[in-house]
């Protein structure tokens, strides 16, 4: 009995204390701000709330935000997986530098990233000028918004997939090779099922991050109502007008979208884990 109790003891204090501290900070940092937001939007009547969140300008911002976030996530899903693959499977000069650069969007203030992208992709910028000659305008368009979202959210895909690829055993791949399976079949039937839950989780986090992006977008978006205005900016405009209930109502829509996205991706992860025999 004494041996069993000694084995159950950990280096941290008891279960009650650690759980209490965890729940306290979770409630203080996460639950309380969300509750305040919902409470503020609840001060509106149902008809007034519905009129605000379905106004033409608000709906236009949803379309711009969701479309740009979807495009950025699609790009990050492909390029992020490729980047994680290169970092894990190959050794080359500058690999550690490239690996460190992946975290740069985490460390860089988003406003700095937005200013840098706006200068780079403006019609007179280093990349914007030649792209303009090709008939492609990036800055102050929805494409520019997607580029800014992709820049700030790509680490979520890379850093979620990378450790799973590192832990993935190569024995199954070598066995498939010895049986004559082509590379494409090995990737789709051996590697992809193993990394699919992490890949979906990283893509979902990137999408949710893109939905709430503000500082990295406003400098390159142009912020024209009904064209390049994102939902986060409209929320900020309502705050500047001291219309706090309207700002809370619009912000609540972003919150609902993020929750729905996370719920869907958890369902997909559960399905993928069961399908790959890990459930």
Question: Comparing 73 with 193, which gets the higher pLDDT?
Answer: 73
Residue-wise pLDDT tens digits, 230-272: 998 999 999 889 988 899 899 888 888 888 877 887 787 777 7
Cα separation values, 239 from 46, 79, 235, Å:
20, 36, 6
pLDDT at 179 over 90: no
Are 213 and 258 within 8 A, CB to CB?
Answer: no
Average pLDDT over residues 125-131: 89
Burial track 9-29 (b if 16+ CB lie within 10 A, e otherwise):
eeeeeeeeeeeeeeeeeeeee
Q: Which of 106, 272, 120 is nearest to 201 (CA)?
A: 272
pLDDT, tens digit (0-9, with 9 covering 90-100), for 82-119: 999 999 999 999 999 999 999 988 888 888 888 888 88
What six digits make up the tokens of 217? 């977008």
Contact 57, 225 (CB under 8 A): yes
What's the helix, strand, coil split of the chain in %, to 5? 80, 0, 20
- pLDDT above 80 (res 131): yes
Its pTM stands at 0.83
């Amino acid at each position: 009995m004494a041996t069993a109790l000694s084995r159950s003891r950990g280096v941290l204090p008891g279960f009650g204390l650690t759980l209490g501290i965890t729940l306290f900070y979770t409630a203080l940092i996460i639950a309380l701000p969300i509750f305040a937001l919902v409470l503020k939007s609840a001060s509106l009547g149902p008809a007034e709330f519905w009129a605000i969140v379905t106004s033409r300008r608000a709906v236009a911002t949803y379309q711009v935000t969701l479309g740009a976030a979807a495009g950025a996530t699609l790009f990050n899903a492909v390029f992020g997986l490729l980047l994680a693959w290169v970092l894990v499977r190959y050794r080359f000069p500058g690999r550690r530098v490239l690996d460190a650069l992946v975290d740069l969007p985490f460390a860089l203030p988003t406003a700095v990233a937005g200013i840098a992208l706006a200068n780079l992709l403006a019609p007179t910028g280093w990349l914007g000028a030649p792209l303009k000659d090709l008939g492609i305008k990036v800055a102050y368009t929805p494409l520019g918004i997607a580029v800014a979202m992709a820049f700030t959210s790509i680490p979520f895909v890379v850093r979620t997939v990378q450790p799973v690829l590192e832990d993935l055993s190569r024995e199954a791949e070598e066995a498939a090779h010895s049986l004559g399976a082509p590379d494409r079949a090995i990737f789709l039937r051996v590697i992809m099922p193993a990394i699919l839950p992490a890949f979906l989780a990283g893509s979902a986090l990137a999408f949710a991050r893109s939905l709430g992006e503000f500082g990295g977008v406003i400098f390159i978006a142009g912020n024209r109502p009904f064209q390049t205005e994102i939902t986060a900016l409209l929320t900020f405009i309502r705050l500047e007008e001291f219309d706090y209930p309207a700002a809370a109502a619009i912000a609540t829509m972003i919150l609902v979208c993020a929750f729905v996205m996370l719920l869907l991706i958890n369902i997909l992860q559960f399905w993928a884990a069961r399908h790959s025999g890990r459930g």
